[in-house]
Structure 1
């Protein structure tokens, strides 16, 4: 019966071999794509954090230069800079990750964004909020209103025939449309 088992399970044998090869191949490509995606998202987060840190540092220097000592604003500035300094700057090693000393990056990023909004409210300015994905749709308006897209002025003026009398329109019917600058 052993001679016929290999024939009966022939399809399953090839399926298992293909699955094993595909799994190994997929693991390699998954690591490569995962590393690239992680790098991209990491850069986006650091761009956002860099903006917040530059914003806070600039306002702190401005307040020191003017000699204005508003305790509430200074407290929010120092709190924002402290939260940013707690953000991890290196990838943890495997031993650190297994030890359970992981930092909840998303929670820390939410706290930083909240502190930034609080600082902007204290300063009386409108916050510029961009989520870490970098898309324009991620902008959050302060007052909850919809962000209206500004229609850009067209560079090319296209004459569509509006405002012309019938005689001019009939004459141009056979001519190609021209662009004017």
Structure 2
């Protein structure tokens, strides 16, 4: 190789070196974006799954509570021989709504509408019984005035 060819090769090598340095920032940005997008998607799916399990658990507990409440009171009223009353009709209606409610498919369009109807019917049944009952979601209630602690 001649001296001029060596200079041309050195110039090309230097140009490639500078191009790779200049393009490195862009390459790292693209790689970082790809990794971040994948990690964000994975975290989002995991968090969504956990929230979905929690929400599904709450709805299942609520429906189970209503179902147990209705069956218990229906049994009590039957023993009191109040079989043909408005209460029994309301119980039958609520029981039918509970049995028709499909817990396994929350993607149905009217899922929340049906859940709201069940809640309303439960309030009606509670009112007919003259009791004030509300489903507790299992969390400890917060106290607005906590008891003072005594320490000596």
TM-score by length of 2: 0.71
Counterparts in 2 of 1:38 and 1:65: CA distance versus 1, 3 Å: same
Q: Which runs of 5+ in 2 are unaligned?
A: 1-15
Q: Of 89, 102, 111, which residue of structure 2 is paired with 1:105? A: 111
Aligned to 2:42: 28
- Separation of aligned partners in 2, 1:41 and 1:11: 43
Greater RCO structure (CA 8 Å; 6+ sep): 2
Asked whether 1:80 is paired with 2:86, we answer no
The number of aligned residues is 137
Cα separation, 2, equivalents of 1:24 and 1:48: 36
TM-score under structure 1 length normalisation: 0.61
Give the CA RMSD over aligned residues: 3.1
Q: Note the alpha carbon deviations across 1:8-65, whole angstroms, 9 max, x for none.
A: 5542332122111221122222222222221122111111111111000101111111
Q: 1:66 aligns with which of 80, 86, 91?
A: 80
Instruction: Determine helix, strand or coil for the equivalent of 2:76.
Output: helix
The answer to whether the aligner puts 1:37 opposite 2:36 as a matched pair is no
Please give the alpha-carbon distance, in whole angstroms, between the structure 2 residues aligned to 1:9 and 1:104.
53
Contact residue 41 and residue 133 of structure 1 kept, 8 A: no
Unpaired runs of at least 5, structure 1:
138-147, 159-177
**Which residue is 1:50 aligned to?**
64
**Which of 115, 121, 135 is 1:115 aligned to?**
121
Higher-helix-fraction structure: 2
Q: Note the alpha carbon deviations across 1:110-147, whole angstroms, 9 max, x for none.
A: 111111110011111112244x585747xxxxxxxxxx
Aligned to 1:164: none
